[in-house]
């Protein structure tokens, strides 16, 4: 059981910066994200794109901004549960909260901050025979720990950056790696596509272009995958794992069941402090809505600051937060 002052749901830029603002007021944070890495949309959708509207940075690459935020919050020693989706959020009689994830990790927190952006990123799944039967038994949609695949037979599918980057990385980890892509050319970065073609030409992996996944086979565990090409030829590839990397699409997910006032797919908040309709639960960043809301990183950072001062009063009802400039208070790790 994890115990913390604030549980932050969502490790996007706004969730990460909320750790900083809470830390400045000496509140500890535990951050949960369904993705295996921090950074939210920036890491998942546009890691290599420049951003031009972060104050103080004329230009910053999305990945760099997330790296910098991670460094900025490090002194406050936040803890993380990554690769798990928050399923249940329950308010207890004493006003604190219990948060339970898809893997049954339980977090006890005095306050909750929902920084869930566009919602849970869920994998786009291929339509193939026996998909349900082997999900979690050889078929995976995310790579949390590449070491799991050492000396295993691996089939990846997809033609975007994620499929290409993981193919390049895992080619030297897996005992045999095959990439299946339904087109002739890749959607991902051209230099990554060239590296994959070069690896295949050097015999370090197999590449099936213009081919589709057709079915998964095995007994209790996945044993092989069949692939069909444009001429309807079917080939069977022995495999311990099949990882379709067709991208992720965001869905509001379980948040809609937590009893919060919603407006379509967003959480309604009071702009005084970004509190929700449930005292002790705050919503900041892209997930919230209020008149004039701008879905920008900058807005989320501002919301995090106001939220933290209000959450302090909820966490420590008998104490007053004092606003001190960081230059004066310094960063005091705990
Ligand atoms: P997100 O970044 O969406 O992070 C939310 C996190 O919550 C996700 O990681 C998600 O997995 C997690 N999550 C959701 N539900 C759960 C759950 N139940 N359990 C566990 N985890 C959960 N903004 C700018 O200011 N400047 C720009 O130049 C800019 N360019 C953009 C370009 C593109 C292509 C896109 C798509 C967006 C751009 N934006 C830009 C918008 C910006 O990315 C968002 O405003 C920002 O990501 C919001 O941050 P967030 O932390 O609120 O949410």
Q: Which pLDDT tens digit goes with each residue over 233-247?
A: 999 999 999 999 998
Parts of the chain belonging to CATH 3.50.50.60: 2-122+249-329, 125-246
Does the beta carbon of 286 lie inside 6 Å of ligand 1? yes
Closest residue (by CA) to atom 3 of ligand 1?
Answer: 117
Closest residue (by CA) to atom 21 of ligand 1?
Answer: 33
pLDDT(76) > 90:
yes
* CATH code given to domain 2-122+249-329: 3.50.50.60
Report the length, in residues, of the chain. 334
Residue 193's beta-bridge partner residues?
A: none
Q: How far is the CA of 92 from the centre of ligand 1 (A)?
A: 29
What CATH superfamily classification does 125-246 receive?
A: FAD/NAD(P)-binding domain (3.50.50.60)
The model's pLDDT over 124-150, given as tens digits with 9 standing for 90+, comes to 999 999 999 999 999 999 887 889 999
Q: SS3 for 179?
A: strand
pLDDT (average), residues 204-217: 97
pLDDT(51) > 80:
yes
pLDDT (average), residues 223-229: 97
Q: How far is the CA of 84 from the centre of ligand 1 (A)?
A: 17
pLDDT(44) > 90:
no
In angstroms, the CA 227 to CA 24 distance is 54
Average pLDDT of the chain, as a whole number: 94
pLDDT (average), residues 3-25: 97
Tokens of 92: 């207890």
Instruction: Residue 34: name the closest of 95, 75, 89, 80 by CA.
Output: 80
Q: Distance between alpha carbon 220 and the CA centroid of its chain, in Å?
A: 29
Q: How far is the CA of 118 from the centre of ligand 1 (A)?
A: 6
pLDDT(207) > 80:
yes
């Amino acid at each position: 059981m994890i115990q913390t002052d604030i549980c932050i749901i969502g490790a996007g830029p706004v969730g990460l910066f909320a750790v900083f603002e809470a830390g400045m007021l000496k509140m500890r944070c535990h951050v949960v994200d369904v993705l295996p890495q921090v950074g939210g949309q920036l890491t998942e959708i546009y890691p290599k794109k420049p951003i031009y509207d972060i104050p103080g940075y004329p230009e910053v690459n999305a990945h760099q901004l997330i790296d910098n935020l991670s460094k900025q919050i490090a002194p406050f020693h936040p803890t993380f549960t990554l690769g798990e989706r928050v399923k249940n959020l329950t308010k207890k009689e004493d006003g604190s909260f219990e948060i339970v994830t898809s893997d049954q990790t339980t977090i006890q927190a005095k306050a909750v901050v929902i920084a869930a952006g566009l919602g849970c990123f869920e994998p786009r799944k291929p339509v193939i025979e026996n998909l349900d039967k082997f999900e979690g038994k050889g078929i995976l949609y995310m790579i949390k720990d590449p070491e799991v695949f050492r000396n295993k037979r691996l089939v990846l599918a997809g033609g975007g950056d994620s499929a290409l980057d993981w193919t390049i990385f895992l080619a030297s980890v897996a005992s045999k790696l095959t990439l299946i892509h339904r087109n002739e050319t890749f959607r991902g970065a051209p230099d990554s596509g060239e590296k994959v073609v070069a690896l295949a030409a050097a015999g370090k992996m197999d590449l099936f272009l213009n081919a589709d996944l057709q079915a998964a086979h095995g007994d209790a565990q996945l044993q092989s995958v069949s692939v069909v090409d444009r001429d309807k030829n079917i080939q069977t590839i022995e495999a311990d794992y099949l990882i379709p990397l067709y991208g992720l699409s965001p869905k509001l997910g379980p948040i809609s069941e937590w009893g919060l006032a919603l407006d379509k797919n967003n959480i309604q908040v009071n702009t005084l402090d970004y509190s929700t309709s449930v005292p002790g639960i705050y919503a900041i960043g892209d997930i919230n809505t209020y008149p004039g809301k701008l879905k920008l990183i900058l807005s989320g950072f501002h919301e995090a600051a106001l939220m933290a001062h209000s959450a302090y009063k909820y966490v420590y009802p008998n104490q007053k937060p004092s606003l001190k400039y960081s230059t004066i208070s310094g960063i005091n790790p705990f």
